[in-house]
Amino acid sequence: MSRDKGTTHGARRRRWLLLAAAALIAVTLSACLATQSPAARLPSQPSFLHGLWHGFMAPLSFLISLFTDAVRVYAVPNVGRWYDFGFLLGIGGFSSGIFAGTRRRR
């Protein structure tokens, strides 16, 4: 009987550690979201690499933007087509990473 309690306690502890790690990762990544103050004048506008990063972070940005107006999914102003291209590649990279595990080997 004591062995069952030990494995239950170990599984419970492992679950809490995974939850804490996931929360820490979410908080860390949320610091990288696409936010810009309209009053701030940046010397350089977001370019291709910013678009790529913002595209990768778009799902998390979208979830947070549902609760606050301070976070946007898409950075404006930006350099235009290069930012758009990076954003689309970032979105595509994120979605292929999610669906890569669902493919079955034949």
User: In this structure, are residues 60 and 98 in contact, taking their beta carbons and an 8 Å threshold?
Assistant: no
Over the stretch 23-34, which tens digit does the pLDDT of each residue have? 888 777 776 666
- Helices of type H across 31-80: 48-65
Residue pLDDT, tens place only, 5-25: 556 878 888 888 888 888 888
Residue type, 28: T
Domain boundaries, the chain: 32-102
Average of per-residue pLDDT values in the chain: 76
The pTM of the full predicted model, rounded to 2 decimals, is 0.51
Kindly state the tokens that stand for 54.
């913002």
Dist. CA 72–CA 28, nearest whole Å = 17
